[in-house]
Structure 1
């Protein structure tokens, strides 16, 4: 009892002393929860997986996408375990799915405050947490059921324990740190390892132990690091394939391949992970040169490339200024100039006082490595990445920007005028960049002069303080206006995540009506608040379908022409598209509205005990049906339709055993087919069309009678 009372007293005392942190936490909570019901189930691919994982332990452990345990999602399970537990506790709903990410986002703000306060004081910590809470892409991820926010929390927590380990020369804290990185790996795989190089390097350079002992600690920690990261992958790969779901988005049914290839090397390589692609990249050839093509089914990509080849286009052309281009700037770069200047300054300071202040060096090494590695990756990669991946760099940008503005606050107490004037330069440059950023986006450029005036007034108040001999009231007003002025536009961009219903598959901030998306609106990618590309809409203001080159053959046409999809041109379909224009309808590949009551009732009514009520090409087409019915739907090709899960013989055996009889070939949405197809897939779809009977033309449902299987 005494311990509980003592802990309560400490918490109350800490809260009073650090009450300033509750402002950014409150701002963040508001941004992450305001009108949250509009998000619905978020990314339906992952929402369906959670519903499946709730049904039995096997689905739960392996992170099965479907209730039938046919194929897994394309990520490790820990993040979805947390979401599943949330749904088991509060009931399956969109809010229950989103709650873990919202909590993780708010806790990350608090952790950033604690970490920065321990090394740079309250003001720097407050600014860092404020900038993080209002980072637009961070808000977009906090309001989505992708598991990135849980991974980000694990990275920040690992940094907290790593700094404690170096400060106290505690090997125990270091082991906790690397173990947490392993937990992060089991949330989002290799992305979580981004903090590992800085943590290992900082421990090696700054721990107060003999060099040999440091190396021995690093070796043992490395073992813990690998075991905590890879244990689930190893267990999965050692489990016989017939006793578990197929490992989704892998080409060899391997969790290790999923981690190291699909969620690893392929994120760095243009259009794929094959050796031919690497060689073409080295010699400067266009990645499309290594792309195969099927005259029947459209583009096909080389082995192990099983990813969306459009990914890098979201970020624009690679280069050192990529994070400042119009695609990315509104998401992440509002205080990036300040962060870069502060980062460079900390490097210089760390080198100058390395022996006197080891914690400054450790702090700069850990956060700086995280920042630098991601800055280089996002600037130069030609591999697959989506705009929302930028959320992973948000904590390091916010930390350095907060430290930079906090340093300015401290320097305003200096006696020398030239030091104060020099300290104002980072703020002036950041303010100038923000004015430019406001000016170049169409929805906000008419207000650029107001921001220019506001920043100018703030700078003048700061100058007045400098030349009026440190009036305390002016200092308070100046630094408050600086923090507020630098946060206005990030806050507004973050708020757009509540005001508009964005794409749940590729979440981002900003007004989605004035941007295009690689998945929804075609290849023109002037992102967020940019010029509207009218070519992506038809005369009735409807979204134009995206053509990926695959339209399955109808069984009445030997030339393999696409089947007629009457619902896509129906009044109801067009009316829905027009209505959703105001709220940016794309919630995912397989929108819930497409899993109509008519379709689900047909499937349930005509199911005669089959394990799977329907088989579709991709998981994203199955997801809304799973969410609506809770029944097993087979995604024959996994997430994107490319996974080599089935053969014709295996499918015939499943049909003969009464596991499945209905097949939807072609889909009814704007996406028809996978992003690339192998020969096995071609054979399967052709066999279904040749041996099946079209029983529902509205939804392109074919039935294969098991009595006809030889």
Structure 2
């Protein structure tokens, strides 16, 4: 964890949410809860609780992600074991544990690890529901999906088509009974998903923070507009959303090739060919089995999970590479189930025995494709991968009458090791500060802007911390505190960008004008003037890195510029501090 930088915006919010139950419930960026984060708060609740218990330490922020990652590996092993047996379970757990994007996110505070854990729990409950036909596991699955919605909103619903399809195809009971239960479970999933939205919607606006990312202070706009429809098509203001900026939207990593490009591919795609082959063979080889065949149902479940996410990611306006962690359980389960199925057919004999050595050879070749754009990184792995892959594939293919079982198992072990070695090298790379990934878009290995800036000496390793202001921020905080004059807010800042370092350093009320993007219409200029006239606010910190708004224009017109030397700086840089006492 020591070399990885946590997301500065989320870390600031976590510090505030840990210090105030009001901010905790609503996801307030500061302890007063003037404005929310631009997501649902559920994804940060585990981190805020950890900081509340253990104190404002960076390791306390990261601890929940570590636990979530380990728990996902454990649960995936259990779920795949119940479906595909011990071999498939061990291999699936190893695949997930060594997927680079999964490893790098356990060292950050981005809530996708929680989303992934909750969806794996939902898949396990769905698998049990399909096998037993019982009400309880299906309703449990609905609850897990609803909780996953609190972590990452609409993305949690992408598994619903796969779960509904496999339940309708393979669960016991009549078609009418299956449909009825699906409708009931879907209603429960919707209720749990929208529970926070309904609570906020029913709360008077004056009793809760303003909802970031919205022009209408509506929680449904936050989820379905700003974090939903605006990420597809050409309407950035869908349902009353605030238009995203370069700081809140990425336009890369989209289209049908996104999973295999030179940046995203090494994060997630090492087992993609094996998973696709397993899906095809798993469905094809189980043709003619009873409708309730559990083996085929598992391939449909995990395959549907994979297909839905690939489809949505490909059609969106853009994706951060770390979004793809949610594909890791499906890829791992398909790879594990596929290896178990192919090993079973290999032992049976016949033409199907060729599938296992072919899959190993394919995976080794695919590793060279993903490594090719990065010839200077981990050069030793590729020859070993090819050697192990060739030995494993040939050892399984040319099995003769004198070949012992130990020899066959050795060939199998070599082949499976070949598929795991390259992603393991990429995963371990994040222990090196140069490959630790950026604080806002973590990636493993020699990819991403942060890597090239560190490699070329254009930047230093980010040392984002809590409760540890640097000299510059300490002097600014000291000046603000000494001259606060009893105001409620320590300072009003232009966008979260200006507030983040101060909020990480101290749990003080701060008015974050414009929210994350700086464009959210809160507070309005009259609201800001009212806060100043009622002595609730004296200082405002503006930045040249965010666009002007009516509120910032009011500050420039009605407040007095504070010389930089007054708070210990030789020059203003990109920040300007204003004293609004003159605006009374």
Q: TM-score, normalised by structure 2?
A: 0.91
1:37 corresponds to which residue? 2
State the alpha-carbon separation in 2 of the partners of residues 603 and 351 from structure 1: 72
Q: 1:592 to 1:135 in 2, by over 3 A?
A: farther
CA deviations 1:106-137 (Å, max 9, x no partner) are 11111111111111110011111100000001
2:400 corresponds to which residue? 467
Q: 1:196 to 1:595 in 2, by over 3 A?
A: farther
How far is 1:354 from its partner? 4.3
Q: 1:408 to 1:346 in 2, by over 3 A?
A: closer
Larger deviation, residues 189-198 vs 593-602: 593-602
SS at match of 1:440: coil
State the alpha-carbon separation in 1 of the partners of residues 168 and 342 from structure 2: 31
2:567 corresponds to which residue? none
How far is 1:618 from its partner? 1.4
How far is 1:458 from its partner? 2.8
Q: 1:666 to 1:307 in 2, by over 3 A?
A: closer
State the alpha-carbon separation in 1 of the partners of residues 245 and 290 from structure 2: 44
State the alpha-carbon separation in 2 of the partners of residues 253 and 70 from structure 1: 12
Q: 1:45 to 1:443 in 2, by over 3 A?
A: same
How far is 1:372 from its partner? 0.4
CA deviations 1:128-174 (Å, max 9, x no partner) are 11000000011111111111111111101011111111211101211
Q: 1:439 to 1:119 in 2, by over 3 A?
A: same
State the alpha-carbon separation in 2 of the partners of residues 61 and 383 from structure 1: 31
Q: 1:96 to 1:160 in 2, by over 3 A?
A: same
State the alpha-carbon separation in 2 of the partners of residues 253 and 604 from structure 1: 31
Mapping of 1:176-575 within 5 angstroms?
A: 176-269=140-233, 272=236, 274=238, 304-308=242-246, 311-315=249-253, 318-319=255-256, 321-355=257-291, 357-378=292-313, 380-416=314-350, 418-444=351-377, 446-447=379-380, 448-464=382-398, 466-500=399-433, 501-511=436-446, 515-516=448-449, 543=458
Is the aligned partner of 1:619 residue 2:496? yes
State the alpha-carbon separation in 1 of the partners of residues 580 and 329 from structure 2: 56
Is the aligned partner of 1:692 residue 2:578? no
1:132 corresponds to which residue? 96
Q: 1:541 to 1:396 in 2, by over 3 A?
A: closer
Larger deviation, residues 112-121 vs 681-690: 681-690
Mapping of 1:77-226 within 5 angstroms?
A: 77-226=41-190
Is there any run of 5+ residues in structure 2 with no aligned partner, and where? 565-570
Q: 2:477 aligns with which of 600, 608, 611?
A: 600
CA deviations 1:380-412 (Å, max 9, x no partner) are 224132111010111101111122222333233
Larger RCO of the pair (alpha carbons < 8 Å, separation 6+): 2
Mapping of 1:584-595 within 5 angstroms?
A: 585=462
8 Å Cα contact 1:439/1:445 also seen in 2:
no
How far is 1:270 from its partner? 5.2
Is there any run of 5+ residues in structure 1 with no aligned partner, and where? 1-35, 276-301, 518-527, 544-576, 675-680
8 Å Cα contact 2:358/2:393 also seen in 1:
no
SS at match of 1:343: helix
Q: Provide the aligned C-alpha RMSD in A.
A: 2.6
State the alpha-carbon separation in 2 of the partners of residues 116 and 470 from structure 1: 30
8 Å Cα contact 1:692/1:702 also seen in 2:
no
SS at match of 2:22: helix
SS at match of 1:228: helix
8 Å Cα contact 1:612/1:660 also seen in 2:
yes
Q: How many residues align?
A: 571
SS at match of 1:314: coil
How far is 1:663 from its partner? 1.5
Q: 1:403 to 1:337 in 2, by over 3 A?
A: same
Q: 1:132 to 1:708 in 2, by over 3 A?
A: closer
SS at match of 1:597: helix
State the alpha-carbon separation in 2 of the partners of residues 459 and 221 from structure 1: 45
Q: 1:135 to 1:629 in 2, by over 3 A?
A: same
